[in-house]
Amino acid sequence: MTKKRGRGRIEDYSTTLSYFILEPTKIRFQYPPSTHELLQFLCSAHETPGPVPSLLLLDGLEEYLAEDLGPQEAAYLAALLLDTAAHFGHRVGPGQGCGLIVALQTQEEGDSGDALHLSLLQRYFPAQCWLQFDTPGAGQCCRRACLEPGGQGPRAEWLMAFQPDGQMTVTPWPTQADDPNSNKCSSSGGQP
């Protein structure tokens, strides 16, 4: 898109507008029914024709981990997810990248295998966003959101409250400096 400014001067606004206008995006959903098929999909994703994805999202990682994956298999899956995202990031071009989001629902009380998987995954995915149930007010449904960038910046927390009429409010959670009773977000008791 160009715009004439002044006498005979044409400026290109396409780069500025690209930050504000979302281009149509094709979303491709894949539902590998087993860990084996998920691994096959990730191993062959680079051979798939078509546009390079800008985001890989794996929802329900706990379902794949529940298939009695040992620590080596869980580490292999995490490394393959990171490698696949890095591969697509290189194909997209410099400064673009391919994002990776892995969603995992943890249990309040887990066995030692769950704790081992969680510890291993935290090593591969240091940046985490936790979503925990919080004590609601009258007629509210509340969630506490915590973003831990994994050494890339300070932790940030918010309280999301959903009113009975559907209205949502988001307020900052008091920091530990503001509230000494505020506990650090962790996987225990939370659901990322």
Distances (CA, A) of 118 to 71, 110, 113, 124, 161: 10, 10, 9, 10, 28
At 85 the pLDDT is 92
Average pLDDT, consecutive stretches of 10 residues, N- to C-terminus, the chain (192 residues): 37 38 65 93 88 87 86 92 91 80 75 73 84 72 83 82 86 63 42 40
Q: How far apart are CA 148 and CA 98, in angstroms?
A: 20
Please name which of 141, 137, 118, 100 lies closest in space to residue 192, comparing C-alpha atoms: 118
At 94 the pLDDT is 76
At 25 the pLDDT is 64
Q: What is the pTM of this model?
A: 0.66
Q: How far apart are CA 185 and CA 162, in angstroms?
A: 21
- Please report how many Cα atoms fall inside a 13 Å half-sphere around the Cα of residue 79, on the Cβ side: 7
Which H or E run includes 184?
none
At 133 the pLDDT is 79
Q: Is 82 helix (H, G, I), strand (E, B) or coil?
A: helix
At 5 the pLDDT is 36
